[in-house]
Amino acid sequence: MTYCVALNVRDGLVMLADTRTNAGNDNVRTFRKLHVVEQPGERVLALMCAGNLAVSQAVVNLLTDGVETERGRETLRDAPNVLRAAQLVGHAVRQVYQVDGEALQAQNVSFDVSFLLGGQIAGGPVRLFQIYAAGNFIEGGPDMPFLQIGEHKYGKPILDRALTYETPLEDGVKLVLISMDSTLRSNLTVGLPIDLLLVRAGALKVERQRRIGEDDPYFRMIRERWSSALREAYQGIPRPEWS
């Protein structure tokens, strides 16, 4: 399993991915699920993936080497805007399906993959897309300032309640770390370390990229403070008069 979450707020993007992959509970490994394409001053794109690891790596390889489209050979490094980059991810997914789909079906392996692509390219706004296994996609926005792939349920309530499009980027970092912590506690197939990325709107570069492991002092502090803050918060709510 996987948990990836991306915030698309007024100030920019916050993206966070875990690194655990498992082929059965007895075969657990660490793989990077956050891939960054950066040309400072010109573009910054980040792609996070969930689902079958062989499929998602094949898609990433195609996007790096070049996807054959009606316009020729295209990569994320030369997409003219983020929408085209999302279309390219979709193209790559469909090409991998054409090549591997039948063989996967013969082995009873589902073609299960999804992506979050966020970023900014000079001349355009920050955009965030979720790309499906069919290669089509949706876009987040002010009404829906976060998108998730993988094991999304445990980490959703905190985002539903606390995140808005106006949330500052640094507060967004706290929220995605809390959301990830809720998921890590409940699903063993989501695991540390986690990869965090910050992109400030207009900067056209990575503001911060950080791998966070068990010993990261800030993440440890969040985990401890959050649990005690929740306990205090619910204890502060009056008891029902009818109790």
Residue 210 lies near a copy of itself (rule: CB under 8 A) = yes
Residue 7 lies near a copy of itself (rule: CB under 8 A) = no
Residue whose pair of structure tokens reads 């990325």 in the numeric block: 197
Cα–Cα distance, 199 to 185 (Å, whole number): 27
Residue 71 lies near a copy of itself (rule: CB under 8 A) = no
Cα–Cα distance, 116 to 199 (Å, whole number): 14
Terminus-to-terminus CA distance in the chain, angstroms?
42
Residue 174 lies near a copy of itself (rule: CB under 8 A) = yes
Contact 161, 3 (CB under 8 A): no
User: Which amino acid, residue 78?
Assistant: D
Q: Single out the residue of 24, 72, 123, 238 in contact with a copy of itself (rule: CB under 8 A).
A: 238
Residue 227 lies near a copy of itself (rule: CB under 8 A) = yes
Residue 230 lies near a copy of itself (rule: CB under 8 A) = yes
Q: Which of residues 127-166 bind a copy of itself (CB under 8 A)?
A: 153-158, 160-162
Looking at residue 201, the DSSP 8-state letter turns out to be: T
Residue 25 lies near a copy of itself (rule: CB under 8 A) = no
Closest CA to 133 of 153, 154, 115: 115
Q: Which is nearer to a copy of itself, 103 or 233 (CB)?
A: 233
Residues forming contacts to a copy of itself in the complex (CB under 8 A) are: 153-158, 160-162, 169-171, 173-175, 178, 182, 185-186, 198, 208, 210, 218, 221-222, 225-227, 229-243
